[in-house]
Amino acid sequence: EKLSDMIQAHVVSVTHNTAVSAAMVFEIRALMHIKPPAKNARKADREAYANLMQRRDDFFARRDDFEALYRRVIQNGIDTGAFRPVDVGIFTKTMLGAHNWVGVWYRDGGRLTGEAIAQQMAEIFLRALKP
Q: Domain ranges in the chain? A: 2-129
Q: Is the CB of residue 124 less than 8 Å from the CB of residue 46?
A: no
pLDDT of residue 25: 82
pLDDT of residue 19: 82
Q: Distance (Å, rounded) from C-alpha 85 to C-alpha 77?
A: 9
- Residue 95 has what pLDDT? 98
- Average pLDDT of the chain, as a whole number: 94
3-class secondary-structure state, position 2 = helix
Q: What is the pLDDT of residues 70-83, one digit of tens each?
A: 999 999 999 999 99
Q: Can you tell me the distance from the alpha carbon of 131 to that of 127, in angstroms, rounded to the nearest whole number?
A: 9
pLDDT computed for residue 18 by the predictor:
87
Tell me the three state secondary structure of residue 43: helix
Could you tell me the sign of the dihedral formed by the alpha carbons of 46, 52, 56, 58, in that order?
Answer: positive
Which pLDDT value is given to residue 62? Answer: 92
Topology classification of domain 2-129: Tetracycline Repressor; domain 2 (1.10.357)
Q: Which residues contact 103 (CB under 8 A, 6 or more apart)?
A: 14, 15, 17, 18, 19, 20, 21, 22, 24, 25
- What is the rounded distance in angstroms from the CA atom of residue 73 to the CA atom of residue 91? 12
Q: Which residues of the chain have pLDDT under 50?
A: none
Distance from chain centroid for Cα 131: 25
Q: Return the pLDDT at 28.
A: 83
User: pTM to 2 decimals?
Assistant: 0.85
